[in-house]
Structure 1
Amino acid sequence: MAIIKVRNSGEVVEGQENVHAFLEAQGVFFERWDMSKLPKKLVEKFDLTDDNKSEILQAYDSDIRSLVERRGYQNWDIVALSEQTPNLEELLKKFEQVHTHTEDEVRAITAGHGIFIVKGDEATGYFDIELEAGDVISVPENTPHFFTLMEDKQVVAVRLFIETEGWVAHSYEEKEHQL
């Protein structure tokens, strides 16, 4: 279950109802998927073949299609990152730059962990959303954010896009450094 850590106040938000309410107030979509749908052999597997990726997409087909109907996505895929990922540190440096998109950024975590750092409203400032398997998040378009991995550096996620070519990151510069 996701945990939120507000950077400027030190507040920690836990529990599904509290997390959902906090994120909703910040305009961030959040829901949970049933992890029992994932084939057991893929529960903690991070080095995936194309067949493994297809199995994950098939296991969550009804959940994906539900998001498609509700939110207008047209394309989806799987991203898997771990110590086995070539050039992982270089990829993470690219991810860890605050940016925005002209469409929302959606991730459904199916294995491992990740953190979205999101700029909230003026009173809240930046907050970390620590995600685990089953957590689904959509950071709204034009919202400054970035993504990184937790200490174990392992994540598998379904990504959904509105534009078939995916999303393009646009650099975001703070007027004052607020991270």
Structure 2
Amino acid sequence: MAEIRIRNTNERISGEENVGSFLAQQNVLYEHWDASKLPESLRGKYVLTDEEKELILSTYNEEIVEIAGRRGYKTWDIVALSEATPDIEALLKKFEQVHTHTEDEVRYIASGHGIFIIKGDEETGYFDVELEPGDVISVPEGQPHFFTLMEDRQIVAVRLFIEPAGWVASPYEDPAFIK
């Protein structure tokens, strides 16, 4: 289950209902899908073949098609990151820059952990959303954010897009952001 840390106050928010309510107030979609549907052979596996990626997508096809229909997503894929990922440091450095997109940034966490750092309303400021298997998040277009890995540095996630080419990040300079 996702947990939130508000950076200005170090306050923590946990529990599916509390997390969902807080994120809704920040215009961020949060849902939780059944992580136990993932085949046992793929749990904790972070280097995947194309066939294994397709198996993950087919396992969650019903959920993916439902959210895609509801929110206008047209394409989806799998991203798998771990210490085995070539140039992981350079890739993470690229991710760890505050930016915006011209469409939602959507992730379903199938395995591992990740953090979205999101700019909330003026009162809230930046907050971290620590994601675990089963969590679905959609950061709306134009909302400053970035994504990175947690301490275990491994994740498998379904990414959903409106534009078939995927999203393009636009840098967002914000003197209020402190890592």
TM class by shorter chain equals: over 0.9
Deviation at 1:177, TM superposition (A): 3.1
Q: Deviations over 1:42-70 (max 9, x none)?
A: 01100100000000000000000001111
Please state if 1:69 is matched with 2:69: yes
Q: Could you say what secondary structure the match of 1:70 adopts? A: helix
- 1:170 corresponding residue in structure 2: 170
Alignment of 1:29-178 (within 5 A): 29-174=29-174, 176-178=175-177
Q: What stretches of structure 2 of length at least 5 have no aligned partner?
A: none
SS at match of 2:8: coil
Amino acid in the other structure paired with 1:114: G
Measure, in 2, the Cα distance between the counterparts of 1:4 and 1:152: 18
Q: How far off its partner does 1:9 sit?
A: 1.1
Tell me how far apart the structure 2 counterparts of residues 144 and 124 of structure 1 sit (CA, whole Å): 13
Correspondence for 2:16: 16
Counterpart of 1:178, as a letter, is F
Distance 2:176 2:66 in 1: 38
Structure 2: which amino acid aligns with 1:149? L
Cα deviations by residue, 1:53-96 (Å, 9 ceiling, x for unpaired): 00000000000000111100000000000000000000000000
Report the TM-score, using the length of structure 2 for normalisation. Answer: 0.98
Structure 1: which amino acid aligns with 2:90?
Answer: E
SS in structure 1 opposite 2:109? Answer: strand
SS at match of 2:47: coil
> What is the alpha-carbon distance in structure 2 between the residues aligned to residue 68 and residue 154 of structure 1?
25
Deviations 1:129-153 (A, max 9, x none): 0000000000010000000001110
Number of aligned residue pairs: 178
Query: What residue identity is the alignment partner of 2:94?
Result: K
- Which amino acid counterpart does residue 70 of structure 2 have in structure 1? R
Aligned-CA RMSD value: 0.6
- TM-score, normalized by length of structure 1? 0.98
Instruction: Quote the offset at 1:178 in angstroms.
Output: 2.7
